[in-house]
């Protein structure tokens, strides 16, 4: 984790030199010198990766992390204090001038102390040296069953194809991949079909020569180990020439393994096979010639069968009075065979009584994570974490912030990663059009590919909509985060208990604050989950919050109703991500103070009252995502003609008033807008002026707009007379319409790139008549509570449709032509 801290700090300080040059006046030279020192430390960290099991190296890395955090706090505090000083009146500046001079002197001294610490750490690294420590090989323990799974994979292997084929078993650590491969390898059918078989264990610490030797020794009496890698490859090839063989390559972590050894496997068109196991989908995609088999978690019944077999060893049945308790113990393992086997081994040695099993149930997670006898579970799971590239480690550990079994919205997670600074655009070889969010989405897909994150639901257009993480992997995130002072998790909302960069509080109903000296200036991220809280200006929570988090970059106050005075959040100038709720009394105060947060990138604002959006909000030039969940917006000041929101990608729940229509029509306001939500409020009056403004609305110039959602029907761009080809850009791929009265499908059919159409609560008027050539790219059509009086579908209309979802409403006579489309699901 220290690697990521130092790399991010270097990038952050370098960016500060560009963005805040005026605020860093007086210490600019010191900051540049500090960056140079940190770059040497960064090189050391990268060279020490893979050797962190050595206790000396661990200690050096921990010291580096602490110094990096200290450096970050010193610079951020200086910037915040200078910003405050510059906002003062002339008289205020004169009054505080002595304090300002002392602060400059203090910062100078603190940076010098940090540089001395870095020099000392670096000299200690030479003094004590670094030894290489390799992970021990760990074989997953046997599990029961797998009959269906082994039959499925064996069927793939025995498929009649004379060419050499490569099959794969993919799944997270501890799921039983090796066990399944062993079951297949030793099955009677496979032995009869493949007389020549060899097993090679690869592992994360793979060495080509050792792998080749292990395969050769399965096939011959070869004993020498003096040959070169190329000679061993040639010998293995000679062993296999003309023979029908099955090779198992177990636990592959890198695609390079195949590049190294593939020349040793001849294809004699005799139906030979290679079976691989891996935690990483990319390996299967690179090596495999057959679709991979993704090994599922055990069902509740399978989990209980495995547990009871291991506990009672097949000698007796589980006593009826223990079964319910036993099943609840097994449930804690979430279908992971390795965890069940290890836990069953512990339970089997204990007294089989309600008292003892109740005690075990209360401490299941602790047993699996901390008990010396069961640490093998975490050792195996930690291999996946240790093998992650540095860019993914912070992203993975970040899952610790969420409560157990939490279904995580992927877009929200990606916005948080960006705000935290985990995502950096590579310096070379990257297109200028690649956004940070695109890179973050790739990171998430890579974590899924590595079997560390599970996809809970997918978007209609593909990609991850929500995700989750196995409880044991979450425990790994929590323990690793705590050890590195990265994130701390608490159930009670007492910030004085924490000493971490990021704090997440779960299930709290009260804000408690023990009398404590901690100011928590070092805490950069705060997350609150659980029951709703209200913090007004006089509340303990609000006072502590405003006092303690001046350097905060992320505030995810999902369940807190904030009621703040006009000064509100003004001093939190480092904020990049803000998610809050407010009420009518303080909404305008909060919005006014938010307008001063010049580093803000993501804003999620919820309010159950009527709110006016001030013009100052458009001064936030770094804003990337602006999501409103507001009962009604009485006024929304527009971006002036000379303003550009170049970074804004998401703008949701925007009311269509004359100001916003003018703003959307402005060719330069939102050049990179990708997602737009429009709404119409019941009290909106369509005066002749308003109607004229609405009819003039054109978004054709929004060349990157891919998704639009329209809620309400006071202006329907898709009525028979309302549609204009200039209303939407040609790139538009997804449209969602909610609460509409009448809809002309012909207008929608003219959009050549439309792939997804979602309709909810409305009517299609006289019905639907689609002719050939309409909706050429439409892949998904979803209708919920939509009335369709008649539906005529000519041949050649919607040729790409693959999903049709109809829920509720009334659809008369779904066309036979539509029913007969082979791709309909």
> What are the tens digits of pLDDT across the range 793-804?
888 888 888 888
Q: Are residues 306 and 357 in the same domain?
A: yes
Query: Of the residues 378, 398, 417, which one is the last residue of a structural domain?
Result: 378
Give the distance, in angstroms, between the CA of residue 51 and the centroid of all CA atoms in the same chain: 27
Examine the domain organization and report whether 330 and 256 are in the same domain: no
Q: Of 100, 188, 178, which Cα lies nearest the Cα of 140?
A: 178
Question: Is 403's pLDDT higher than 50?
Answer: yes
Q: Pick the closest to residue 573 from 607, 549, 591 (CA basis).
A: 549
Contact of 211 with 202, CB cutoff 8 Å = yes
Q: How many domains does the chain have?
A: 3
Residue 271 pLDDT class (50, 70, 90 cuts): very high
Q: Looking at the predicted structure, is the pLDDT value of residue 744 above 80?
A: no
pLDDT at 26: 59
pLDDT 10s digits, 303-358: 888 888 888 876 678 888 888 888 888 888 888 888 888 788 778 878 888 888 88
Residue 251 near residue 137, CB atoms below 8 Å = no
Which residue from 380, 312, 370 is spatially nearest to 345, judged by alpha carbons? Answer: 312
Whether 130 has a pLDDT exceeding 50, the answer reads no
Q: Is the pLDDT of residue 45 over 90?
A: no
Q: What is the pLDDT of residues 703-736, one digit of tens each?
A: 899 999 988 765 555 554 555 555 778 889 999 9
Residue in this structure with the two tokens 């020794």, named with its chain if needed: 217
- State how far the alpha carbon of 577 is from the alpha carbons of 416, 504, 526, 557, in Å: 7, 15, 10, 10
Determine if residue 724 is left, alpha or beta; phi over 0 gives left, psi from -120 to 50 gives alpha, anything else beta: beta
In this structure, the number of other CB atoms found within 10 A of the CB of residue 347 comes to 22
DSSP assignment of 347-415, as one string? HHTS--SHHHHHHHHHTHHHHHHT-TTTTHHHHHHHHHHHTS-HHHHHHHHGGGGSPTT--EEHHHHHH
What is the spatial distance between Cα 520 and Cα 498, in angstroms, rounded to a whole number? 8
Do 80 and 102 have their domain in common?
Answer: yes
- Within-domain flag for 710: no
CATH of residue 112's domain is 1.20.5
The CATH number of the domain where 159 resides is what?
A: 3.40.50.300
- Kindly state whether residues 160 and 98 are assigned to the same domain: no
Residue 505 belongs to a domain = no
Mean pLDDT is lowest, of 294-298, 473-477, 593-597, for 593-597
Whether residues 274 and 151 share a domain: the answer is yes
Most confident of 231-240, 340-349, 696-705: 231-240
pLDDT number for residue 794: 85
Segment 518-542 shows an average pLDDT of 68
The whole-angstrom separation of Cα 544 and Cα 521 is: 11
636: β partners: 613
Mean pLDDT of 453-463: 86
d(CA 282, CA 292): 10
- CA atoms within 13 A of residue 787's CA, in its CB half-sphere: 9
Of residues 193 and 224, which shows the higher confidence score?
Answer: 193
Given pLDDT bands bounded at 50, 70 and 90, which one contains residue 29? low
Q: How many CB atoms lie within 10 A of CB 12?
A: 16
Express each pLDDT in 670-695 by its tens digit: 889 999 998 876 555 444 344 445 56
Same domain, 124 and 24: yes
Rg over alpha carbons for the chain, rounded to the nearest Å, is 31
- Domain range enclosing 213: 147-294
- pLDDT, tens digit, for every residue of 142-173? 445 678 889 999 999 998 788 999 999 999 88
Closest C-alpha among 620, 603, 659 to residue 636: 659
Residue 651 lies in a domain: no
pLDDT tens digits, 755-805 = 999 999 888 877 888 888 889 999 999 888 888 888 888 888 888 888 888
Are 238 and 269 members of one domain?
yes
pLDDT band with cut points at 50, 70 and 90 for residue 266 = very high
Phi, psi of 288 (to 5 degrees): -70, 145
From start to end of 108-183, where are the E strands?
165-170
Distance CA 344, CA 325 (A): 13
- Is 274 within a domain? yes
Whether 600 maps to a domain, the answer reads no
Confidence at residue 61, expressed as pLDDT on a 0 to 100 scale: 66
Mean pLDDT of 477-483: 87
CB 557 within 8 Å of CB 603: no
Pick from 327, 361, 378: which residue ends a domain?
A: 378
β-bridge pairing 454-458 and 464-468: antiparallel
Q: Which two tokens stand for residue 482?
A: 């705590």
Q: How confident is the model at residue 563 (pLDDT cuts 50, 70, 90)?
A: low
How long a stretch of residues is the chain? Answer: 825
pLDDT: which is higher, 47 or 317: 317
Work out the angle at residue 16's Cα, subtended by the Cα atoms of residues 442 and 571, and round it to the nearest 5 degrees.
100
Report which secondary-structure segment, H or E, holds 417: helix 410-420
Place of tokens 């308790």: 325
Residue 313 has what pLDDT?
73
| Confidence grade of residue 135 (pLDDT, cut at 50, 70, 90) | very low
Cα separation, 150 vs 168, in Å, equals 12
- Most trustworthy range by pLDDT among 365-379, 417-431, 507-521: 417-431
Check: CB of residue 234 under 8 Å from CB of residue 227. no
* pLDDT score, position 471: 84
**In a shared domain, residues 271 and 305:** no
User: What percent of the chain is predicted at pLDDT more than 90?
Assistant: 20
How is residue 295 annotated by DSSP? P
- Tokens of residue 61, six digits: 């890395």
Confidence of residue 206 (pLDDT cuts 50, 70, 90): confident
Average pLDDT over residues 555-574: 73
Same-domain pairing of 283 and 312: no
What was the pLDDT predicted at 674?
Answer: 92
Instruction: Examine residue 338 and state whether it is found in any structural domain, yes or no.
Output: yes
**Range with lowest mean pLDDT among 141-150, 168-177, 438-447:** 141-150
Residue ending a domain, choose from 341, 363, 378: 378
pLDDT above 60 (res 508)? no
Backbone angles phi, psi at 376, to 5 degrees: -55, -35
Residue with tokens 């082994």: 150
What mean pLDDT do residues 735-743 have? 84
- How much is the pLDDT for 134? 29
Q: What is the mean pLDDT of residues 601-612?
A: 82
Distance CA 491, CA 403 (A): 10
In a domain, 672, yes or no: no
Q: What is the DSSP letter of 114?
A: H
Task: Show the CA angle centred on residue 657, arms to residues 652 and 660, nearest 5°.
Answer: 55
Average pLDDT over residues 403-418: 92
pLDDT > 90? residue 552: no
Average pLDDT over residues 503-527: 64
Closest by Cα among 795, 794, 790, 784 to 813: 790
Among candidate residues 186, 184, 185, 231, the one with its CA nearest the CA of residue 212: 231
Q: Are residues 66 and 88 in the same domain?
A: yes
Q: Where is average pLDDT lowest: 20-29, 261-270, 591-600?
A: 20-29
Residue 66 lies in a domain: yes
pLDDT of residue 432: 52
Neighbours of 814 (CB within 10 A): 13
State the angle between helix axes of 229-240 and 208-219 in degrees (0 to 180), rounded to the nearest 10: 30
Q: 221 and 86: one domain?
A: no
Q: Are residues 348 and 285 in the same domain?
A: no
Q: pLDDT confidence of 395, banded at 50, 70, 90?
A: very high
Closest CA to 214 of 202, 227, 204, 231: 202
Lowest average pLDDT, out of 20-24, 151-155, 270-274, 373-377, goes to 20-24
Q: Which residues contact 448 (CB under 8 A, 6 or more apart)?
A: 281, 454, 455, 464, 467
Higher pLDDT, 46 or 63: 63
Look at residue 274 in the predicted model and tell me its pLDDT. Answer: 95
Q: What is the mean pLDDT of residues 473-488?
A: 86
Cα angle at 621 between 655 and 665, to 5 degrees? Answer: 40
Q: Could you give the count of Cα atoms lying within 13 Å of 685 in the half-sphere of its Cβ?
A: 3
Is 652's pLDDT higher than 80?
A: yes
As a whole number, the mean pLDDT across the chain is 77
279 or 367, higher pLDDT:
279
**Range picked from 28-32, 146-150, 365-369 for highest mean pLDDT:** 146-150
DSSP class of 23:
T
Contact criterion met (CB below 8 Å) for 273 and 157: yes
């Amino acid at each position: 984790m220290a690697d990521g801290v130092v790399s991010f700090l270097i990038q952050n300080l370098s960016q500060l030199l560009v963005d805040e040059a005026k605020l860093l006046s007086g210490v600019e030279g010191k900051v540049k010198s500090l960056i140079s020192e940190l770059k040497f430390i960064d090189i050391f960290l990268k060279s020490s990766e893979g050797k962190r099991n050595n206790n000396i190296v661990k200690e050096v890395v921990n010291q580096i992390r602490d110094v990096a955090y200290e450096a970050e706090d010193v610079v951020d505090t200086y910037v915040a204090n200078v910003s405050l000083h510059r906002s003062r009146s002339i008289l205020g500046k004169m009054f505080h001038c002595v304090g300002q001079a002392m602060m400059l002197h203090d910062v100078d001294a603190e940076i010098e102390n940090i540089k001395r610490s870095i020099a000392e750490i670096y000299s200690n690294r030479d003094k004590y040296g670094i030894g290489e420590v390799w992970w021990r090989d760990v074989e997953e323990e046997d599990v029961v069953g797998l009959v269906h799974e082994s039959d499925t994979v064996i069927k793939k292997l025995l498929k009649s194809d004379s060419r050499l084929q490569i099959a794969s078993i993919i799944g997270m650590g501890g799921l039983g991949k090796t066990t399944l491969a062993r079951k297949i390898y030793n099955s009677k059918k496979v032995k009869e079909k493949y007389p020549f078989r060899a097993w090679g264990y690869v592992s994360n610490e793979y060495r080509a020569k050792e792998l080749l030797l292990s395969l050769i020794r399965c096939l011959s009496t070869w004993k020498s180990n003096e040959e070169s890698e190329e000679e061993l490859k040639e010998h293995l090839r000679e062993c296999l020439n003309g023979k029908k063989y099955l090779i198992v390559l177990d636990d592959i972590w890198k695609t390079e393994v195949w590049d190294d050894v593939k020349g040793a496997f001849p294809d004699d068109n005799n139906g030979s096979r290679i079976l691989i196991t891996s935690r990483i989908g990319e390996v299967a995609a690179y090596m495999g010639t057959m679709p991979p088999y993704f090994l599922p978690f055990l069902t509740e019944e399978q989990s209980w069968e495995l547990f009871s077999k291991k506990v009672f060893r097949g000698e007796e049945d589980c006593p009826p009075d223990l079964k319910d308790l036993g099943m609840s113990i097994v449930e804690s393992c979430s279908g992971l065979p390795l965890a069940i086997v290890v836990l069953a081994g512990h339970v089997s040695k204990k007294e089989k009584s309600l008292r003892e099993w109740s005690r075990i149930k209360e401490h299941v997670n602790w047993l699996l994570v901390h008990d010396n006898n069961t640490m093998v579970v975490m050792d195996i799971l930690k291999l996946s974490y240790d093998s992650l590239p540095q860019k993914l480690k912070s992203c993975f550990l970040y899952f610790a912030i969420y409560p157990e079994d939490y279904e995580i919205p992927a877009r929200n997670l990606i916005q948080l990663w960006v705000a935290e600074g985990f995502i950096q655009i590579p310096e070379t070889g990257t297109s200028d059009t690649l956004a940070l969010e695109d890179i973050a989405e790739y990171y998430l897909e890579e974590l899924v590919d590595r079997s560390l994150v599970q996809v809970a639901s997918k978007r209609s257009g593909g990609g991850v909509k929500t995700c989750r993480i196995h409880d044991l992997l979450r425990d790994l995130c929590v323990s690793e985060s705590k050890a590195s002072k990265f994130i701390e998790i608490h159930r009670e909302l007492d910030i004085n208990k924490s000493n971490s960069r990021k704090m997440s509080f779960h299930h709290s109903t009260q804000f408690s604050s023990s009398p404590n000296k901690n100011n928590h200036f070092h805490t950069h991220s705060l997350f609150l989950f659980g029951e709703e809280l209200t913090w007004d200006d006089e509340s303990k929570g609000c006072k502590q919050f405003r006092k303690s988090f001046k350097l905060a970059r992320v505030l995810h106050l999902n369940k807190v109703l904030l009621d703040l005075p006009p000064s509100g959040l003004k001093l939190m100038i480092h904020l990049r991500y803000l998610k809050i709720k407010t009420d009518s009394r303080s909404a305008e105060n909060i919005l006014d103070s938010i307008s001063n947060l010049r580093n803000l990138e993501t804003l999620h604002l919820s309010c159950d009252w009527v709110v006016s959006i001030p013009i100052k909000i458009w001064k936030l030039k770094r804003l990337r995502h602006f999501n409103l969940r507001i009962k009604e917006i009485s006024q929304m000041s527009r971006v002036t003609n000379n303003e550009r929101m170049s970074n804004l990608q998401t703008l949701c729940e925007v009311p269509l008033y004359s100001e916003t229509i003018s703003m959307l029509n402005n060719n330069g306001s939102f050049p990179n807008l990708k997602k737009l939500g429009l709404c119409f409020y019941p009290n909106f009056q369509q005066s002749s002026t308003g109607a004229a403004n609405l009819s003039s609305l054109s978004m054709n110039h929004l060349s990157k707009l891919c998704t639009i959602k329209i809620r309400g029907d006071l202006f329907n761009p898709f009525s028979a007379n309302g549609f204009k080809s200039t209303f939407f850009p040609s790139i538009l791929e997804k449209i969602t319409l909610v609460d509409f009265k009448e809809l002309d499908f012909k207008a929608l059919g003219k959009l050549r790139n439309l792939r997804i159409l979602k309709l909810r609560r409305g009517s299609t008027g006289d019905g639907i008549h689609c002719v050939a050539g309409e909706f050429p790219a439409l892949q998904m059509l979803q209708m919920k509570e939509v009335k369709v009086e008649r539906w005529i579908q000519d041949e050649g209309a919607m040729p790409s449709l693959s999903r049709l979802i109809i829920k509720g409403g009334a659809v008369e006579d779904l066309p036979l032509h539509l029913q007969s489309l082979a791709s309909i699901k």
